[in-house]
Amino acid sequence: MTFNQPQNLKTIAALIGAKFVGDENFQVFGTNEIHMVKPGEIVFVNHPKYYDKALNSPATIILIDKEVDCPEGKALLISDDPFRDFNKINTHFTRIFNFREELHNVEVGEGTFIHPTAVIGNDVTIGKNCHIFPNVVIGDRTVIGDNVVIQANTVLGGDAFYYRKLNGSFDRLISVGNVVIENNVEIGNGCTVDRGVTDSTVIGEGSVLDNQIQIGHDTVIGKKCLIASQTGIAGCCVIEDEVTIWGQVGMASGVRVESGTVLLAKCGVNRDLKKGTYFGPIAEEFREYLRKEVKLKNL
């Protein structure tokens, strides 16, 4: 999430009641998750396992629950609960409506048809010559390009599935990102595309999604990808251009799939994949999988 205007370290520290390490005028441009964070942004970390990753990430402001040495050129915000304070920063700079208030500010391009039963949130942009079918739900801040088809009962911009366990219950990381659908995309019936926690979930130009597909928060789908029904893609994945994903593929969070890859039905993806054709509950190169099956039959 990028702030409407730059803030400074002292202002952010005062907002959350945290101690800071660094120049009080150190500029802060926004917040982001560890997978997506860029220089000038805040990332949070609340577990020793991830301290080094956060401190060595592109983030230049680290919201952390322990006093540590501050890396050169960076700043620290010391908090007793970084998860809570990350939510506090995000919701201070991005108002959450959840369809309780209709302020709208919706822009719709020429030639676009939106069925009367569709529900559209605030600050939404829809391009030219789009077709929005019945019962589609489009959440706040969603951006849709030209010539996009969104079929019935699809939800764009639902909350991210991102929780921590706290005192025996689950505490949500509040989603302040959005969904971006680029030009010439078609999305089938009953799909769900979660908005980013702090960034954008993106469906690239010319991609086609079948029915009943789940796309997790902050995932980026490349151009001209083809995704078949009942595929589930977790958050913060990167699917590069012209990837084909067949039915019931499951993908763990944070993986990258190289351009031109084919994932056959029911493939389980738990790691980054180079270009190729893959199959199996733990994705393996298809020819290797077939060779293994032949060997097993010949035992």
Query: Could you state, in order of their start, the residue ranges of all structural domains in the chain?
Result: 2-93, 107-288
Domain 2-93 has CATH 3.50.50.60: no
- Please tell me the pTM assigned to this model: 0.93
Confidence bin at 299 (pLDDT 50/70/90): confident
Confidence bin at 178 (pLDDT 50/70/90): very high
- CB–CB of 59/52 below 8 Å? no
**What is the model's pLDDT at position 116?**
97
Between 166 and 263, residue with greater pLDDT: 263
* Nearest residue to 219 via CA among 247, 180, 186: 180
Residue 103 has pLDDT above 90, yes or no: no
Percent of the chain with pLDDT over 70: 100
For every residue of 12-48, DSSP letters joined together read HHHHHT-EEES-TT-EEEEE--TTT--TTEEEEE-SG
Confidence bin at 292 (pLDDT 50/70/90): confident
**203-238: per-residue pLDDT in tens?**
999 999 999 999 999 999 999 999 999 999 999 999
Contacts of 159 (CB under 8 A, 6+ apart): 172, 174, 175, 194, 195
Residue 294 has pLDDT above 90, yes or no: no
107-288 has the same fold as 2-93: no
Q: Which long-range contacts (CB under 8 A, 24 or more apart) does 10-16 make?
A: 12/42, 12/61, 12/77, 12/89, 13/77, 15/88, 15/89, 15/92, 16/77, 16/79, 16/85, 16/88, 16/89
CATH architecture of 107-288: 3 Solenoid (2.160)
Catalytic residues: 217
Helix (H, G, I), strand (E, B) or coil at 100: coil
Helix (H, G, I), strand (E, B) or coil at 95: coil
Q: Distance (Å, rounded) from C-alpha 64 to C-alpha 127?
A: 41
